[in-house]
Amino acid sequence: MRDTDERTELILQRVRMLRRRRARQGSEALAAICCVLCVCLAGLFQVQTDGGGSAHVPELYGSALLYSGAGGYVLVGVMAFAAGVVVTVLCIRNQEKNREEKTIQKKKSAELYNMERK
Query: pLDDT of 24-35, one tens digit each?
Result: 888 888 888 888
> Which structural domain, as residue segments, surrounds residue 68?
4-54+63-117
Question: Residue type for 63, please?
Answer: S
Mean pLDDT, range 15-43, rounded to an integer: 85
Residue 51 has pLDDT above 70, yes or no: no
Pairwise pLDDT comparison (4 vs 74), residue with the higher score: 4
Alpha helices (H) in the chain, listed in sequence order: 4-48, 70-117
Q: Do 70 and 54 touch, CB atoms closer than 8 A?
A: yes
Q: Is the pTM of this model over 0.75?
A: no
At position 95, the amino acid (one-letter code) is Q
pLDDT band at residue 44, thresholds of 50, 70 and 90? confident
Q: Among 44-48, 81-85, 105-109, which stretch is predicted with the lowest mean pLDDT?
A: 44-48
How many domains does the structure of the chain reveal? 1
65-96: b (≥16 Cβ within 10 Å) or e? eeeeebebbeebeebeeebeeeeeeeeeeeee
